[in-house]
């Protein structure tokens, strides 16, 4: 099931005829981002610049935020775009191709999620299984289903290795609360350099998912019960 290298190719086709393509490579074992070139350092990428409140990285070991460092050369392509402009987005993975015509902020959010989780942030790194089975343009409902299912599988594996499983999903709620803080911290960084709102609103779109998962896990997972009538 493991790949030597996972590839995600995102192509953004704008209404003015311009196009921009990003090819993302992840190590198939660690799911860490493999940069093409040395990441470009900048003032806004420094770890202490708008550092996330829950950041666990030591500034003696990390001069720069690993997420910001990998996003630096990406976000510059969208500084002058508006988040609501319509764009055609094609996504090619190792297994299949996806296409959607949607607001730039949502297409960009889908791609940024890969970079952010795979960049080396210990908090967002907890979502790596989701990146391995990346679903572009996922809805809130799809994300909640995938998040809960992925977490429960992790607890099954934990139990099989002699650990104490968390069937109540308490840790999942904690994880997404931490993810929400990171999203807010990265948004603060981007605000210091972005001239238009596409990049910021892409983070806002991601933050909607981070906020919705804890709320739904607490109160709404019963809405999925109808899908499992044959099992129960």
Alpha helices per DSSP H over 11-61: none
Lowest mean pLDDT among 90-104, 144-158, 206-220: 206-220
pLDDT at 1: 59
What average pLDDT does the structure give for the chain? 89
Instruction: Report percent pLDDT > 90 for the chain.
Output: 60
pLDDT at 50: 87
pLDDT at 195: 59
For 93, half-sphere exposure in the C-beta direction (CA atoms, 13 angstrom radius) is 15
CB-CB contact of 15 with 86 (8 Å): yes
pLDDT at 194: 60
Q: Which residues pair with 14 in a beta bridge?
A: 87
- The single-letter DSSP state of residue 39 is P
- Per-residue burial over 152-178, b if 16 or more Cβ lie within 10 Å, else e, is eebbeeeeeeeeeebeebeebbebbeb
pLDDT at 130: 94
Q: Which burial class, exposed, middle or buried, applies to 226 when counting CB atoms under 10 A from its CB (0-12, 13-18, 19+)? A: exposed
pLDDT at 23: 96
Give the chain's domain count.
1
196 — pLDDT class (breaks 50, 70, 90): low
122 vs 218 pLDDT, higher one? 122
Lowest mean pLDDT among 44-53, 130-139, 152-161, 213-222: 213-222
Print the domain residue range for 67.
5-228
Kindly report, residue by residue over 57-82, the tens digit of the pLDDT: 998 899 999 999 998 888 888 877 88
Q: Which tokens go with 30?
A: 């660690």
Lowest mean pLDDT among 77-86, 131-140, 207-216: 207-216
What distance in Å separates the CA atoms of residue 65 and residue 45, rounded to the nearest whole number? 6
Kindly report, residue by residue over 105-123, the tens digit of the pLDDT: 899 999 999 999 999 999 9
Kindly report, residue by residue over 84-101, the tens digit of the pLDDT: 899 999 999 999 999 999
179 vs 196 pLDDT, higher one? 179
**pLDDT higher than 80, residue 159:** yes
Backbone angles phi, psi at 119, to 5 degrees: -80, -20
Q: Which residues pair with 26 in a beta bridge?
A: 6, 33
pLDDT at 123: 96
What distance in Å separates the CA atoms of residue 60 and residue 12, rounded to the nearest whole number? 38
7 — pLDDT class (breaks 50, 70, 90): very high
């Amino acid at each position: 099931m493991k790949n030597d290298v996972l590839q995600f190719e995102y192509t953004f086709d704008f209404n003015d005829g311009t196009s921009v393509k990003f090819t993302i490579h992840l190590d198939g074992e660690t799911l860490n981002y493999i940069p093409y070139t040395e990441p470009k350092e900048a003032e806004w990428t420094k770890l202490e610049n708008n550092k996330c409140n829950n950041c666990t990285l030591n500034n003696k070991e990390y001069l720069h935020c690993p997420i910001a460092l990998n996003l630096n050369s990406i976000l510059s392509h969208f500084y002058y775009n508006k988040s609501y402009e319509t764009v055609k987005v094609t996504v090619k993975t190792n297994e299949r191709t996806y296409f959607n015509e949607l607001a730039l902020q949502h297409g960009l959010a889908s791609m940024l999620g890969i970079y952010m989780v795979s960049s080396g942030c210990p908090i967002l790194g907890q979502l790596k299984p989701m990146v391995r089975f990346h679903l572009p343009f996922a809805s809130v409902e799809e994300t909640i289903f995938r998040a809960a299912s992925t977490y429960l599988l992790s607890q099954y594996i934990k139990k099989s290795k002699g650990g104490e499983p968390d069937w109540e999903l308490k840790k999942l709620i904690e994880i997404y609360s931490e993810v929400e803080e990171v999203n807010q911290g990265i948004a603060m960084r981007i605000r210091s350099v972005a001239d238009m709102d596409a990049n910021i609103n892409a983070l806002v779109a991601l933050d909607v998912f981070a906020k919705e998962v804890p709320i739904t896990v607490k109160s709404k997972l019963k809405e999925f019960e109808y899908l499992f009538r044959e099992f129960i």
